[in-house]
Structure 1
């Protein structure tokens, strides 16, 4: 897979590696997001030891560290380190007068095999490594572990890092650069993959998008057919229980009490599963914009791949295993347009964040009862700027053009959200806008129309 994007992160890492002093960098992000690729690219041209930690014993870990060191330095064959202190002593000697990059990837696994490793690192950083030219990089896919156990204020390593980098999924423009397909297909690929570069690379711009989906998901040999299970197997125990929670969430069961009822699990178990999935970065919770009533909290699948998989693939595994997929693909063709609307809203929210005239301090969606219509209503996007102005957004991923009716509905619904500052109305449309709405927008500075192409700017 060719290297795409990450210009800012790459530039910062190279600047750090060119430093003449000790540096300690923490790099983290969701599994498969491209951390290792980024670090490897940044390490080009620098003397580097790159160690990939695995779930194993302390003795095997020390042997693997010796092997990684030999591969990076070309010396030390046959070395045996009695403990992690001895290993860091050796590294300190090698970096005493010459710059050296030491990357420990999947650092949480190293901590599992050598429980006192962070205490040892703390002591060596304070007493020895700060005097060297070592560039220490700790990377991990367990976002919660890296944020709390490594960067948190209760960590032995707290306050010692000189830089940190959270590697995020690709935005829409980066996905298009890697994928190379049409605008509409790029939006679909972004929705399905969540912008994870490895998954994006599996899609071919020369292939009909439906054929790509069939090849990747609707075959027992498909590259993404077992990917969610593989991820969960690496992250949690009892993956099947987590599977059940994810499947219910993907099908709209989004409150804790409902999840407990539908799954037959206890409320405490559901709370644990949701918390764990949130720490991994697969699910999240939200409230209606401007509402602090926790009883209204709903949970949802945050990760694009997991949402698509549990909505459209997992229910049909028996048929897929038998190779009978024509019916499921036909059903996908009918249901996907409706499904695509939700992840399209997330793309539109990101556009608001980067294209508002003032910094956004809060963004989300609103739902609730409209006292005027006596109906349950929803606003796709509500955002507040730093000076209190409100932006309301309606997102339409349909084949019909958006017109004045949709604008009037958005203005009406926006009255359910309090605020006395300026109000702006953004309408997003996959298929463009009617002539009447385009004409109205010319004389209305509070209205902004965003078509598919604008999302890539």
Structure 2
């Protein structure tokens, strides 16, 4: 059954814009696996005419032959089907020489498989583009999941395609308000937990949606040696890197709380000087990211795992594989609240705060052991908001204590240019919320998050 296509209005509009423009179009679409590139492409070409080719990780001659057959079938050219074509140059030259009266598409899904097995495909496409395709009615879309290979071979200034592409698009994860529609049987809290675990990846959300609730989903798909996610992060890493043990050690170090380069290196038994190439490689692929305090020095940067599936897996699966293999591990025995607390902070900063604090730039702040979960600034009226995030429920007394400590910490933040100051608290549930709001505090619980998502 084909599920309803969710969100991606911006991406679809950009693709349609490219389709309507004159001349040849060369679009590069890339993003991590399972993000929904193929589904986006399928929706884009619906009702249009052209060639859709799904590349495979196989020998170049087989790849050429398969695309040749699809081209011959599209143009109803039995002669092409019988010709001995051995190079990409020959195949793209054929396409370049056929005049098109109307716009047609050539989509190559998982283009990185072609690059990986025969980099000459890039030069062949460049030659055909420069000689004829750029002025043609072809709309060429190249899609790829191996982010390192796409960045180095198709997008970098050293690529033969550099300067030729008319659009490149990095497809990111869904926001929670769209992601939760994949989980109709989940309670709102369970849907949010799934989002904090999976990170808005459509295919992952579809898998979660096959289960009645979050606990059942995690038990069957993570803490089960036959589960869908039991080896998923390992597979994703193996597609990009060779030194898997080193990358796994670094991710494990960050997952358990070692966020500074020095402590990461110490945890892994590495010289800190040798750590940075690994950190840079994973940062480039969006697996981790370097965070900087909103007010502070760049030397204070800390690392966190950006891709939720990696963070969850290295927190709860990586170190318990033996117990899972022997079926001696249960979700009931795991305290996930610290993990959800950490990810809830990220969610509030990156998604929820943008709904309730429009026009603000958000981040966090830390210095010498002090930390503020949310700092939001708006230049237009010189306003600043300091916030704390708590995954659990708070009594009114506890909430007031959190806000008092927040006010004290805010005194250490150097923000002289911001004259309007407010304080915010976001938690699972907060007693006395209305009274706190009457006193000028910005106070939100899960019910407010649900309302904001429902409104959109």
| TM-score of the pair, normalised by structure 1 | 0.89
* SS in structure 2 of the partner of residue 174 of structure 1: helix
* Structure 1 match to 2:164: 160
* Structure 2 match to 1:372: none
Residues 361-396 of structure 1 show CA distances to partners (whole Å, capped at 9, x for unaligned) of xx3211223xxxxxx221111233244532222111
* The 10-residue stretch of structure 1 (237-246 or 227-236) with the greater mean CA deviation from structure 2: 237-246
* SS in structure 1 of the partner of residue 393 of structure 2: coil
Give the distance between the partners of 1:74 and 1:325, measured in 2 at CA. Answer: 58
* Structure 1 match to 2:367: 368
Residue 428 of structure 1: which of 423, 426, 429 is its match? 426
Alignment of 1:274-353 (within 5 A): 274-294=279-299, 296-326=300-330, 329-332=331-334, 335-349=335-349, 350-353=351-354
* SS in structure 2 of the partner of residue 240 of structure 1: helix
* Structure 2 match to 1:53: 55
Give the distance between the partners of 1:95 and 1:230, measured in 2 at CA. Answer: 43
* Preserved contact between residue 360 and residue 376 of structure 2 (Cα < 8 Å): no
* SS in structure 2 of the partner of residue 77 of structure 1: helix
Give the distance between the partners of 1:401 and 1:155, measured in 2 at CA. Answer: 58
Give the distance between the partners of 2:298 and 2:183, measured in 1 at CA. Answer: 42
* Structure 2 match to 1:83: 87
Residues 170-202 of structure 1 show CA distances to partners (whole Å, capped at 9, x for unaligned) of 111111111122211111010010111111111
| TM-score of the pair, normalised by structure 2 | 0.89
Give the distance between the partners of 2:88 and 2:210, measured in 1 at CA. Answer: 48
Whether 1:116 aligns to 2:120 is yes
Give the distance between the partners of 2:280 and 2:40, measured in 1 at CA. Answer: 29
* Preserved contact between residue 191 and residue 214 of structure 2 (Cα < 8 Å): no
Whether 1:357 aligns to 2:358 is yes
Q: 1:35 to 1:206 in 2, by over 3 A?
A: closer
Residues 14-70 of structure 1 show CA distances to partners (whole Å, capped at 9, x for unaligned) of 343355532121211122111111111211112232223344443233223224435
Residue 40 of structure 1: which of 39, 42, 50 is its match? 42
Give the distance between the partners of 1:72 and 1:228, measured in 2 at CA. Answer: 38
* Preserved contact between residue 66 and residue 80 of structure 1 (Cα < 8 Å): no
Residue 448 of structure 2: which of 437, 442, 454 is its match? 454
**Deviation, structure 1 residue 441:** 1.7
Give the distance between the partners of 2:75 and 2:193, measured in 1 at CA. Answer: 44
**Deviation, structure 1 residue 354:** 4.2
* Preserved contact between residue 47 and residue 100 of structure 1 (Cα < 8 Å): yes
Q: 1:157 to 1:106 in 2, by over 3 A?
A: same
**Deviation, structure 1 residue 115:** 2.2
* Structure 1 match to 2:406: 410
Give the distance between the partners of 2:386 and 2:83, measured in 1 at CA. Answer: 63
* SS in structure 1 of the partner of residue 85 of structure 2: coil
* Preserved contact between residue 142 and residue 280 of structure 1 (Cα < 8 Å): no
* Structure 2 match to 1:21: 23
**Deviation, structure 1 residue 339:** 1.4
* Preserved contact between residue 260 and residue 301 of structure 2 (Cα < 8 Å): yes
* The 10-residue stretch of structure 1 (205-214 or 242-251) with the greater mean CA deviation from structure 2: 205-214
* SS in structure 2 of the partner of residue 399 of structure 1: strand
Give the distance between the partners of 2:276 and 2:133, measured in 1 at CA. Answer: 42
Give the distance between the partners of 1:60 and 1:357, measured in 2 at CA. Answer: 52
Whether 1:248 aligns to 2:241 is no
Gaps of at least 5 residues in structure 1 are: 370-375
* Structure 2 match to 1:373: none
Whether 1:127 aligns to 2:131 is yes
**Deviation, structure 1 residue 250:** 0.7
Give the distance between the partners of 1:198 and 1:72, measured in 2 at CA. Answer: 30
Runs of 4+ in 1 over 4 A off after TM superposition: 70-76
Give the distance between the partners of 1:247 and 1:68, measured in 2 at CA. Answer: 45
* SS in structure 1 of the partner of residue 343 of structure 2: helix
* Preserved contact between residue 66 and residue 79 of structure 1 (Cα < 8 Å): no
Give the distance between the partners of 2:140 and 2:92, measured in 1 at CA. Answer: 11
